[in-house]
A and B are shown apart, each in its own frame.
Chain A
Amino acid sequence: MILPHTESEIKEMLSALGLSSLEEMFYDIPEKTRLKRPLNLPPKMSEAELRKQFKQLAGKNHPLSDQISFLGAGVYRHHIPAIIPALISRGEFATAYTPYQAEASQGTLQAIYEYQSLICKLVGMEAANASHYDGATALAEAGFMAADISQKNEILISRGVHPHYRQVIQTYSKGGEISLMELPLIEGETAIQEAEKMVSPKTAGIILQSPNFFGCLENILAFSELCRKNKIPLIISVNEPLAYGILKPPGELGADIVAGEGQSLGIPTSFGGPHVGFIAVKQQHIRKLPGRLVGMTLDKSGKPAFTLTLQAREQHIRREKASSNICTNQSLCAVANAIYLSVLGKQGVQEAAWQCYHKAHYAFHEWEKETGLTPLFKAKFFHEFAMQIPIQSEKFLKEMKKHGILAGYPIEIDYPEFPGGILLTITEVNTKEEILDFSKKAQKVLDLQKCLNH
């Protein structure tokens, strides 16, 4: 990219300042710390050279679309309607800043208001923030909210919560606002009996993920009763919001805060980001929400209008007393979520969710019957489940990859108690043919290993 200034313009502008060189503008920087050499960077590239270079780099990667993939584990591949990239790449959305000037930003503001509303409808809550960095950081800040609501410090967090999310909330807890205790699992589900024993007067709230990392549906209702009894908030973490196209939403089951990831709703897997986090709450907690909020109000002439609101909670007004330090969020991804939920709409979201559900259950039974893989848990699931491999999971995955199949996520990376366990995900993008292909190749890989072992 070339800057617009011509050499003669630069001279004229300098002379308007009474200067004869550009260097004179930097005399406030101590002479001895000014860089005396050019930065050590590669030579500059034209657009054509850039394109060539990055195509080469992209070519060293192996995109999901070129292979069969059953990888999920918190990041999911779904059909993305073509209108999403087309609309969010419009410069009017993509190159606007945070909508501080409401009159010049009604487009972003209304789109985000719609996003907040659509997220609330999907998870059954009453107010959502204007987005967060991702599901993990949204959950961490939901933990802070719980401590603020209950005025206590200790959060009970299920071992079924995504391992990266647990690591992030652990990092966030180092500021001292919360401490964490882990709720154990039984048969892939968070143990309610243990939770009952662990809740104490110090408990600030409970965090549960549903469907959890293993794909198992948690008994949200039982935990919400426990929380109700102890007057502490229940936080439901969500990796796969599309599940709530058909599942009873956490809001209807007594969740006080739902914090999660919106990547599933129209955003490519993108090697892990940008994705988009959300935090949704019941009405009574809106003033405790972190981050930006868009509200509907009226303009001077009485017309409906949108604006950033309740900014007195935020860092640019309250500084060290703010509810969070967040400023930049993931606004454009939130708009992508809004477009996804609008264009799929009621029937499309239900259909996507049912297709995931039916295909995953088909695969589950097919693979159990045909491959020698055994389910790790008996719990109900949505589109993801854990299976036991009779050989080392690393070996299995490597051999399957040679056959062009990414055969899931090795859960022993994060759960040493499940050696040889893999997490498999089937979405509407996967076909019956792929599922049957997995069976065939898995049989081949396992048979070969058996022979080698004998």
Chain B
Amino acid sequence: MPEPLIFEKSSPERKGYLFPSLDVPIFENSLSSEAAREDLPLPELSELDVVRHFTRLSQENFSIDTHFYPLGSCTMKYNPKIHDELASLSGFSDLHPFQPEDQVQGALEIMFQLQNLLAEITGMDSISLEPAAGAHGEFTGLLMVQAYFKDKKESRRQVLVPDSSHGTNPATAAMAGYEVVQIPSNSRGGVELESLKQSLSENVAALMLTNPNTLGLFDENILEITRLVHEKGGILYYDGANLNPILGIARPGDFGFDVVHVNLHKTFTIPHGGGGPGAGPVGVKKFLEPYLPVPIVKKKKNSGQEWYYLDDHYPKSIGKIKAYYGNFLHLVRGLAYILSQGAEGLKRIAELSVLNANYMKEALKKYYDLPYDRMCQHEFVLSAKKQKAYGVKASDIAKRLLDYGFHPPTIYFPLIVEEALMIEPTETESREMLDKFIRAMIQIAEEAEKNPSLVKGAPYTTPISRVDEVLAARKPNLCWC
């Protein structure tokens, strides 16, 4: 811990912020001793103390702005700075959610436009911008599925998820009250059709599918899969975590998906913020519209003028999924991104993200095991099986990459690949950067063979060495008390 805790830098009676003087008389009949708190154990620092503290902390991070960050499944592309400038305009950031409609027409117009553009991009009929993140969007989607079947007086208890799915899919299905049935993958990395057929019944509410899946592979049987599920009256849920490589190439709605969530913080380049906030809009086909969370932004003519308004007249709605109307400032960023790209730009993003991934995959497959040797989409999954023979695991390779100045790929996911290294370069990286990363990976493969202890001892250049996770879990210390 090179930087002490903020509490350790505190000095009694020091102040960091000056308020305007109180301009009203003190209220004499003040708080009783039962109501008032005795002590407020917060730190006491100067403004400069705090600035240096958090600046130093920031410098202990790897980030997109400082490092190549090919973290699979997370779409760590460059986040254009202009979006932050736009989101911080006081006409957006200084709005209250309960201001009268005539004072927020610009904000509602942004939401309206984003709803329409996301519907076009995903091939859906209607969009709710309310969910705050991908998993939140999944929950919203499944509650709509539940409401739909309840309306139809059908009792369906199961949700199918492939074994390659994100952990949020089964967790969401359980939270929405469903029994989770796992479908195995076939030898090409797609959904095993025979197992799917066997699992399908009148008891299945939905199949949740990520396509391209978490192996980075597009399931060629997609039309057969959606046909089979629909045939049994089930709903097709599209997990949009991997939407990036099909932007402008194909649309989930056209494959037959009925519900889609989109991760604005992945595909649409909202900064990840060290884990959030994100935004997870949900799109649906017409027949699910009545169940959308409220409100939805609508447009009408008001004495000849265009007028935007929040419509919460959806009697069959699942209700509100979040207070107010979603992570609005992120919606500003998302819209700015789409407008800055246009149709051609979005398609180019998809193409170059796929080109970058395939370029790296081809260069690395001689050195690392490639369990599914076929054309990938925006990401690909290697296995450190070969290196394991020398006692070097995927996690060791990840740590060693830090010494080479790269953020590692996602490791040990998807679960169906042994010692998985999941690499997603994104389209914003240049070929030079890909080549540098490829060279580092090749060198680490050599080190694993010739000097495995070097790799197993990594990292050597970070502010700390490997952490004792067992200690952290055995005696959890979550608060400086």
Contacts and interface: CB of A to CB of B under 8 A. Distances in A.
Given A104-B407, A305-B467, A111 B322 contact: no
Interface string B24-46: 11110001001111101111110
Contacts of B174: 320-322, 325
B23 interface: yes
Interface in A241-274: 244-249, 252, 261, 268-274
Interface stretch (A159-167, A201-209, A367-375, A444-452): A159-167
Contacts of A246: 31, 36-37
Contact of A114 (B41, B44, B467, B480): B480
A26 B377 CA distance: 8
Contact of A41 (B105, B168, B343, B352): B343
Contact of B218 (A13, A28, A43, A165): A28
Interface stretch (B71-79, B379-387, B442-450): B71-79
Given A10-B355, A131-B276, A344-B17, A110 B94 contact: no
B5 A110 contact: yes
Given A174-B146, A246-B36, A325 B135 contact: yes
Contacts, number: 668
Given A14-B355, A273-B326, A299-B465, A71 B99 contact: yes
A29, A102, A361: most-surrounded residue (chain B CB, <10 A):
A29
Interface in A92-142: 92-108, 110-114, 116-118, 120-122, 126-128, 130-131, 133-137
Given A29-B246, A174-B177, A133 B62 contact: no
A102 B328 CA distance: 30
B15 A348 contact: yes
B311 interface: no
A12 B34 CA distance: 75
A57 B109 contact: yes
B364 interface: no
A51 B82 contact: yes
Interface residues of B, number: 199
B187 interface: no
B26 A345 contact: no
Nearest to B33: A248
A330 B277 contact: yes
A392 interface: no
Interface string A1-43: 1011100011011101100001001111110111100111111
A96, A310, A322: most-surrounded residue (chain B CB, <10 A):
A96
B14 interface: yes
A396 B105 CA distance: 22
Contacts of A416: none
B359 A13 contact: yes
Interface in B46-72: 47, 50-51, 53-67, 69, 71
A236 interface: no
A87 B54 contact: yes
Contact of A361 (B27, B275, B348, B428): B27
B125 interface: no
Contact of A64 (B95, B348, B468): B95
Interface residues of A, number: 202
Given A38-B347, A315-B171, A358 B26 contact: yes
Interface in B314-337: 318-330, 332, 336
B351 interface: yes
A273 B171 CA distance: 25
B40 A22 contact: no
Contacts of B59: 92, 107
A40 B346 CA distance: 11
Contacts of B349: 3
A106 B463 contact: yes
Given A111-B57, A320-B170, A343 B481 contact: no
B19 A105 contact: no
A9 B274 contact: no
Given A103-B462, A268-B93, A17 B362 contact: yes
A91 B58 CA distance: 8
Contacts of B322: 133-134, 136-137, 168, 273
Interface in A297-315: 297-301, 303-307, 309-310, 312, 314-315
B467 A34 contact: no
A129 B452 CA distance: 38
Contact of A62 (B23, B104, B146): B104
Contacts of B97: 75, 269, 271-272
Contact of A73 (B98, B138, B329, B338): B98
A250 B470 CA distance: 32
Nearest to A135: B323
B462 A104 contact: yes
A175 B136 contact: no
Contacts of A85: 88
A333 B56 CA distance: 18
Given A57-B110, A95-B271, A294-B478, A328 B278 contact: yes
15 contacts: A4-B428, A29-B218, A89-B84, A95-B65, A99-B274, A104-B462, A127-B478, A133-B136, A221-B34, A303-B1, A307-B467, A321-B174, A331-B273, A348-B19, A352-B19
Given A35-B248, A348-B19, 19 more contacts: A26-B354, A28-B375, A29-B249, A47-B340, A91-B64, A95-B63, A103-B402, A105-B62, A106-B1, A117-B479, A120-B479, A170-B319, A246-B31, A270-B93, A298-B471, A299-B467, A303-B1, A315-B135, A355-B19
- Which 8 pairs between the two chains have the least Cβ-Cβ distance? A58-B91, A272-B324, A91-B65, A44-B342, A332-B273, A60-B106, A272-B97, A331-B275
